[in-house]
Amino acid sequence: MWKKPWLLLPPQLAHDLSPLFLKLHGQLFSPRSLKWDSFDWRGLHFDNPLGIAGGVDKNVDCLKGWWSFGPGFVEVGTLTPLPQE
């Protein structure tokens, strides 16, 4: 149901609008934690192994929206341990 309206839009427009809808989703729905197959890794606890990849939200514009979907972790931003060329 939600997929079809996006298919009607030109790709660039859908890409440009998606942060707006993600922010709206984050405002309408509280962050939730879906607890299944939880695990610990290097001293960190994760409620589930499903996460949001780092390159999806490079400017961290939609952090609350990502958490509203219930992932075990969200990797955001473009921080690196060493300068990049």
Delimit the domains of the chain by residue range. 32-77
Give the 3-state secondary structure of 17-77.
Answer: HHHHHHHHHHHHCCCCCCCCCCEEECCEEECCCCEECHHHHCCCCCHHHHHCCCCCEECCC
Position with higher pLDDT, 39 vs 2? 39
Q: What is the pLDDT of residues 20-36, one digit of tens each?
A: 888 888 888 877 767 88
pTM value is 0.64
